[in-house]
Amino acid sequence: MKNTLVLDGHQLDLKALLHACSSSDVKVEISADAKAKVTKSRQYIDSRLSKGEVMYGVNTGFGAFSSVRISDSEIELLQKNLIRSHSMGVGAPFTKKQSRAMMILRANALSRGHSGCRVEVIEKILEFLNKDLIPVIPSQGSVGASGDLAPLSHLALALIGEGEVWGADGKPVPVATELQRLGMKPLVLKHKEGLSLINGCQVMTAIGLLSLAETKDLLNLADLAGAMSLEGLRGSRSAFDPLISASRAHAGEIKTARNLLKILGTTSEIAESHAGCNKVQDAYSLRCMPAVHGASKDTFQYVLRTLETEANSSTDNPLVFADDGKILSCGNFHGEPVAFALDFLGIALSSTASISECRIAKMINPAMSDLPAFLAPNGGLNSGHMIVQVAAASLVSENKILAHPASVDSIPTSAEKEDHVSMGTIAARKAGQILQNAQNVLAMEFLSATQALDMLGGLKSSPVIEKVKNEIRQAVPFAKEDRIFSKDVEKIKEMMLNGKILGVLEKEIGLLDI
């Protein structure tokens, strides 16, 4: 992929954002057309101001102070005071990668030309990005309406030379020190520009998009882990017949059934070993994978569409429409579309982890698996995967709490002026934690599934599953006796995140559908 990202406010997608925010080697620019639109918008707002008009956030106070007129001599101080007073974030900071994504999204939104700021504001964001000067942004303090005010103010605070950025040693340092070292000048805010920097949902959207990138891999890994568990439990492939999914026609269900059959193949030594057995149906956690995994895939697609739409939207207030001769107060800064989507993502990820834990529970239960209890070769002396399942259950139950939707809550702010808010940034942060929990649960399932497969008397699974199992075995050998299984889970999770497991899968059968 090319190492230059050109922003125009209309075409930014997850793939480009992920590439640009993962490496400081990618240079970010604003397109010539976008510059022209931004300049036209600025000239229009200047022409209206020159006639003595009163405009919210330009020459008035903010929120409940919107009726307070600010003198022309104090307009620049108004913008600086806005950033200082709104820099009220608390808690652990977002990661440097997350903050890069926020900066890219904010620059892209401003590039649409509806915010009335100067081109210099966008160029200053991009200068910071391209110099790898990334603001330290606290993660708590946004209610997700009037934009992500507190965290975006910390972003803007660095731009004006008063905040902190990440130093070379990974610790926060005063931005003024770094600006001096690099010979850079801070941004001097003009009228409306402080407001333009902080009105928007770029924080929740950035966190959500980065979580989606990992969710895509997780959903593919869930199909793989489920297929391995099905073989370990000597389950049936018949529930994945394409006739079944075609009769319901949800896209995700069709994709999942197809994925599972690609992974499992038409048969295997394991499948042949229990042909004609007296089992009529498998447990839901095996038989219903197309429905459950598929619903998560459909959710992924909905959330992706919503967040990519948001990434290319104007979320300022007021908005400037120079061609139409209008400056309009509005509520595009309200995060509800993103909040709903990210709550939905958290629910889907919770379900993905839950059904994974169900499969682990089946594998450790000899009544369900016909395998040694807890997958322990010498049970009693060894506890085997007893606490692997307990840990998975703990994470699944934690997700049940985290999956309570943040967006159903609201609380009046700004002296009742801003009386309904989205809590979208909380939804984004929660979805990220649920994702991490789900990744750990799936790593536990891979651990138990490989153990189960190796306890089937040397019978082979499909070629794909055998190669994936062998890859995992390079880092995590079969457990002949108890050991510290948390270290195994860490190793498998690392293989999940660095692409090793999916790499084997894709080399054998190509990309899975999502």
Q: Which residues are catalytic?
A: 56
**CA nearest 140: which of 96, 90, 103?**
90
**CA nearest 264: which of 297, 291, 286?**
286
**Residue 225: how many CA atoms within 13 Å on its side-chain side?**
31
CA 184 to chain centre: 32
Amino acid identity, position 217: D
* SS3 (DSSP) at 338: helix
Structural contact between residues 28 and 105, judged by C-beta atoms closer than 8 angstroms: no
Amino acid identity, position 480: K
Q: How far is CA 438 from CA 81, 82, 118, 395, 494, in A?
A: 42, 40, 44, 8, 14
Residues 6 or more apart in contact with residue 235 via CB below 8 angstroms? 229, 282, 286, 287
* 72, two tokens: 């022309």
Buried b (16+ CB within 10 A) or exposed e, 237-264: bebbeeeebeeeeeebbbbbbbbbbbbb
* 288, two tokens: 């219903």
